[in-house]
Structure 1
Amino acid sequence: MVASTEPSGTVVAREAGDGVRARNLARLLRRVHLEGPQSRAQLTASTGLNRSTVADLVAELVTDGWAIERDPDPVGRVGRPSPVVEASPQTVVIAVNPEVDAVEIAAVDLARRIAVRERIDAKLPSADEVTALVADVVSRWSKGALSGSRIVGIGVAVPGLVRQAAGLVRNAPHLGWVDEPLAASIAAATGLPVSVGNDASLGALAEHLFGAARGAGDVVYLNGGPSGIGGGIIVQGSAVGGVGGYAGEFGQNRVRGTESVLEDEVSRARLLDALGLVSADDAALAEAIARSASEAVRAECQRQRGILAQALADAVNILNPAVVVLGGFLAVLAALDPEAFSAEVASLAMAENGEGLRILPASLAADRLLLGAAEVTFSAVGVI
């Protein structure tokens, strides 16, 4: 199935010819979505389809508005170059990330570019407030910045436990949400299909597909943000959600020798307190730590790094990943001495499980949650 959008903006499923043709259309569109612009010659080689079939399929994707075709960049070669196919920048998902201090909303296009974004300050926004903000932004952008675009759905990355299949936020403790039917609420307010997922799990998906863990089949991802520590797991290339969709809540694991959980002991708030700061984003936090000559700051960083290293070693022993990706302030802690931190994790894990392990900072910065939310939505509505 390939999705199309009626003038009203609602997404409807459409048969793209016979089943084989539909699958081939989806293969080509997914390839240019995931890999970026591809020449017809590259698509022919990678799919095993013949040149005329690829040309015919590309023509349909272009006609239906799912892809664009352009001349290649000049390379000084002799002969007629193969046209380049790109995912359409006019097909977009509205990606949303509610946090404890703001709601970030962006339009992510099929080529994985963020066309427009807006950060709206909101202290502990309720689910109803988020719904109203999203509906307002969709209405404004549809008449303005996205007036020539096709909005195919809305994706929401929530810092909490989400029953993704139902779009139900079971518990987002830092926001104070319990059993909020967020997908249904936003869908009713906008008329668009809505996907809702745990923010860290969506971040893991984005880093796996497009970021630091690209090409790795087995990944553990931990993110430290204003709402604590969340995580995501990729096993053999597939996201692991668990029976309820709640897998990856590393932040709620007990810390040895304490009555606390990981996100209580490894905490942005504790770092800010040690630095005497009220707030700071990740870049400002890293700069403040680097400038500080305080022994108390150094000791707090070391304490948190040690606890985080043990938590990662436990995850490595259980899941045996190829890559551990750290986002948010966790990446700041690891970056204080990356080699020493990796060595500490390896020393705490089983030697065999630590062989070849890479611990990397998230590479998609603040975009990772938005890209992850967009990705699951493109998939859910049948675009890719």
Structure 2
Amino acid sequence: MRSSPGATNGTEGLRTQNLSQILTMVHRHGPLSRSELTRRSGFNRSTVGALVSALTEKQLVHETDPAVGGRVGRPSPIVRANPGVAVLAVNPDIDALTVGVVGLGGHVHRRVRRETRGVPSLEDAVELTRDIVADLRPVLTGLDRVLGVGIALPGLVNAGTGRVLVAPHLGWRDADLTGPFGRALELPAVAANDAALGSLAESIFGAALGVDDAVYLNGSASGIGGGIVTGGAQLVGSRGYGGELGHTLVSPGGFPCHCGRSGCLDAEVRLERLLGAAGLEGGGIEALEQVLSDEPSAAVQAEAERQLELLAVALVDFVNIFDPELIVLGGFLGSLVAFRGDQLTDVVNAQSLAGRVEVRRAALGPELLLVGAAELAFQSLLASPS
């Protein structure tokens, strides 16, 4: 008897879901053995075998022999996401533009950071990205395929339309973001807020792995953004603009902020002030790491202590509002954690109502935003591998 069209679509839909489940597992948690995939998925062994074979045919996963051990019985093959299936990740900022090539499994093949002479326009960023990608051609030609572009932007981005509402530090307002990048690179492009993508990356591959309730803050040359994971899901808001934690008031009447107020966390805790206290202009987070790891001057220590005090004010508010198990700090905020992390944790727990929260440095380092942007670009593949 011939199946009805609806039954066929239902069968294909179920198969797509099953392929998605297996591919997502090995992408986010792999390499995994077939037996472990069977245990985690709840499918039987033959179903897992068929799904792995289908993904192998599509070159999305590879199977390898397991390490030889003392176990009795036939060893289960190891299934690995294919890092040769990759995307481009782009992170524009006020002082530099970073482009990465990121494969399945979160593998960063290459990262290139180019400093800019000034704050780049959208057109400048697109052109510089095209130049960097041209230089990356030897890396790209060695891959199986490049699927698209993910953009991590320090600003309010409508992920559904690909438009930037405002990126205040860059001066980009109400502009098509994904269209120009997609046309320049001849690839489909997607975009979202950089800190939200950093939060996503740390939840999947980094310091917040396995944590259902976490607050993430990222500090870059542009300023401070945030992301909130509650109940295992990202809080994004009605239009995708949720998580602008950098605009929490920490010092009434303090430094003016791009949002129009004064004394926001974003305006008070700044990378350039820490570098300036060391007599440096530019150099980014790498330069700050060096400054804080050496014997910092009295001026640097004083500025770092001032910023840590104001950062603690904001973190106490976040603990009281969101009740996270973990706070993850990335970018130059991670450098402050390395400098005085115990002190910051003690203050936050002493001054928040419930306390008992851990403050941890982001684990993915300079690759954080690239991995987050890549995860955004991989979403359609992970949802529908077929």
Same fold (TM over 0.5): yes
Matched, 1:62 2:50: no
Following superposition, the deviation at residue 148 of structure 1 comes to 3.9
Paired residue secondary structure (2:228): strand
Matches within 5 A, 1:1-384: 18-123=12-117, 124-138=119-133, 141=136, 145-258=140-253, 259-292=262-295, 294-350=297-353, 352=354, 354-355=355-356, 357-381=357-381, 382-383=383-384
**Alpha carbons of structure 1 residues 122 and 283: separation in structure 2 relative to 1, 3 Å:** closer
Q: Distance in 1 between matches of 2:78 and 2:153?
A: 37
Following superposition, the deviation at residue 95 of structure 1 comes to 0.6
**Alpha carbons of structure 1 residues 134 and 344: separation in structure 2 relative to 1, 3 Å:** same
Following superposition, the deviation at residue 16 of structure 1 comes to 11
Please list the CA deviations of residues 252-310 of structure 1 after superposition, one character each: whole Å capped at 9, or x if unmatched.
22223323221221111221222222234434323323434643332222211111101
* Unaligned 5+ runs, structure 2: 1-8, 254-261
**Alpha carbons of structure 1 residues 297 and 176: separation in structure 2 relative to 1, 3 Å:** same
Q: Distance in 1 between matches of 2:96 and 2:11?
A: 44
Q: Distance in 2 between matches of 1:290 and 1:51?
A: 52
CA RMSD in angstroms, aligned pairs only: 2.1
Q: How many residues align?
A: 367
Q: Give the fraction of aligned pairs with identical amino acids, expressed as a percent.
A: 42
**Alpha carbons of structure 1 residues 85 and 190: separation in structure 2 relative to 1, 3 Å:** same
Q: Distance in 2 between matches of 1:383 and 1:226?
A: 36
Following superposition, the deviation at residue 122 of structure 1 comes to 2.5
Paired residue secondary structure (2:63): strand
Q: Distance in 2 between matches of 1:148 and 1:273?
A: 42
* Unaligned 5+ runs, structure 1: 1-14
